[in-house]
């Protein structure tokens, strides 16, 4: 399987306003900011902003007639991670890969073993309950705002994420389903939606039948089984779900999963399927 050359374009964005989801109210006034985290400094639900992205060849404009992928990495990773994976998944499509805003390890050598740094979308590796609701809404709002500012309105977008990024890819549909063509969640989970206002488009999403690919390993040692089952049930109810599980696969991706994903992309007219 050949890898196409990747031309990365580093983009540093200026500070941008973060939409709290309710006009005229500060997030702390409407319950969208929660308690202090004991893992990553800050409070669950604090407004975020995207500061770094890399594009595929041609600045993400080499294949303008095909949907663009919006790549969202997992805990302790960075924007380079899923960018490298896209050569296996959809080499004929453009992509943009975003860096999560919460810093676990700054760029340079460190405990995570990467000179590119390590980052997180949430204030914990696997937040739950109201903590997850608040953090995932803040992250989805930041990504959606970035998309509004940097991607042409008519360009079809497909969020694809791993782990934390998989949950975020799904949540973008729960915040702005009209903007996103489909979603791909690899080893992910869903937020419970207990905090009012953190999943504002769930009802609209249910009527739209957005295609979702959800893949996971049956030996996943990070995402609890009950979270996987909860995600599957929620997606079955709210989206046009294709679910695949992989024997002996831990919290990771695999070549069989890529093969299934490419087939799904072809069936949904998202990519050509050509390698």
What domains can be seen in the chain, in order of their start residue?
35-267 (3.40.50.1820)
pLDDT of residue 107: 87
Per-residue pLDDT of the chain (275 residues; tens, 9 = 90+): 333 333 333 333 333 333 444 445 565 657 899 999 999 999 999 999 999 999 999 999 999 999 999 999 999 999 999 999 999 999 999 999 999 999 999 987 655 554 789 999 999 999 999 999 999 999 999 999 999 999 999 999 999 999 999 999 999 999 999 999 999 999 999 999 999 999 999 999 999 999 999 999 999 999 999 999 999 999 999 999 999 999 999 999 999 999 999 999 999 999 976 65
Cα–Cα separations (whole angstroms), residue 170 to 15, 92, 128:
25, 23, 16
pLDDT for 152: 96
pLDDT score for 155: 97
pLDDT at site 116:
82
* pTM of the predicted protein model: 0.88
pLDDT at 237: 98
Predicted pLDDT at 26:
60
Q: Are 92 and 106 in contact (CB under 8 A)?
A: no
């Amino acid at each position: 399987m050949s890898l196409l050359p990747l031309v990365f374009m580093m983009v540093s964005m200026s500070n941008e306003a973060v939409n709290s989801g309710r006009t005229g109210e500060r997030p702390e006034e409407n319950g969208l900011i929660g308690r202090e985290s004991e893992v990553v400094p800050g409070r669950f639900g604090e407004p975020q902003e995207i500061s770094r992205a890399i594009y595929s060849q041609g600045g993400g404009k080499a294949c303008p007639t095909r949907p663009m992928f919006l790549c969202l990495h997992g805990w302790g990773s960075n924007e380079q991670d899923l960018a490298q994976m896209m050569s296996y998944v959809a080499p004929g499509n453009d992509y943009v890969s975003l860096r999560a805003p919460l810093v676990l390890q700054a760029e340079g050598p460190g405990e995570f073993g990467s000179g590119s740094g390590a980052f997180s979308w949430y204030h914990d590796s696997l937040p739950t309950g109201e903590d997850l609701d608040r953090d995932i809404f803040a992250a989805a709002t930041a990504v959606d705002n970035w998309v509004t500012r940097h991607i042409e309105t008519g360009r079809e977008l497909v969020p694809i994420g791993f782990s934390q990024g998989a949950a975020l890819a799904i949540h973008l549909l729960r915040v702005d389903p009209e903007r996103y063509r489909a979603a791909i969640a690899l080893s992910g989970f869903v937020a419970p939606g207990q905090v009012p206002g953190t999943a504002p488009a769930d009802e609209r999403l249910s009527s739209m039948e957005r295609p979702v690919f959800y893949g996971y390993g049956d030996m996943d040692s990070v995402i609890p089984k009950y979270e996987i089952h909860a995600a599957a049930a929620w997606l079955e109810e709210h989206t046009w779900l294709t679910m695949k599980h992989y024997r002996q696969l831990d919290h990771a991706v695999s070549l069989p999963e890529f093969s299934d994903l490419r087939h799904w992309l072809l069936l949904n007219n998202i990519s050509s399927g050509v390698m």
